[in-house]
Amino acid sequence: MNLKAKIEATLFATGSALSINEISEIIGASCDDIEEALLELIMDYSSRDGALEIDDEDGYIIQVKNEHFDIVDKLMPIEMGESMLKTLSAIAIKQPVLQSTMVNLVGISAYDHIVNLLERNLISKKPQGKSFLLKTTPRFNEYFKLTGDTKTLAQILDMQAKN
């Protein structure tokens, strides 16, 4: 197997950004050789009209190009941190709930969580006075495979977030 193929396999298998030193340790080749092969690999990816690219902003990683992310987003599971999961479960339990109430419950980070949950179409909002009324969407039910009451799932999510 040539060095570019080894690097490509390493980047694909790890799924996270790696430094040249980390790649060198994994593959067992010099950093200079890794750097040269990486540049060739980056050029290979950029010269073809594919959906993947090698990003080198915070280390090297194979990723889907931005223009194709909407497709991947539909297929990949949604990953949420504990604090965002708490925000989502609180919305599901208390829905419909005012955004201002969520900020009081969760803190200022609720604003970022709400933006993220809206982007993922897990919640919706509509103007209500000086705030917004938040509630879960059919996408929320679909994602969590709910056919009935969302309050039960929200309580389960809340218990998981506490553990």
pTM for this prediction: 0.50
User: Quick one: fold of 82-162?
Assistant: Arc Repressor Mutant, subunit A (1.10.10)
In the structure, what pLDDT confidence band is assigned to residue 114 with cuts at 50, 70 and 90?
very high
Distances (CA, A) of 113 to 19, 75, 123, 160, 163: 30, 21, 10, 18, 20
Gap between the Cα atoms of 124 and 119, Å rounded? 9
Fold for the domain defined by 3-74: Arc Repressor Mutant, subunit A (1.10.10)
Out of 2-6, 120-124, 142-146, give the one with best mean pLDDT: 2-6
| pLDDT of the residue at 85 | 87
Where in the chain are the domains?
3-74, 82-162
> Which is higher by pLDDT, 52 or 162?
52
- Reduce the DSSP state of residue 55 to 3 states and report it: strand
Do the first three CATH levels of 3-74 and 82-162 match, i.e. the same topology? Answer: yes
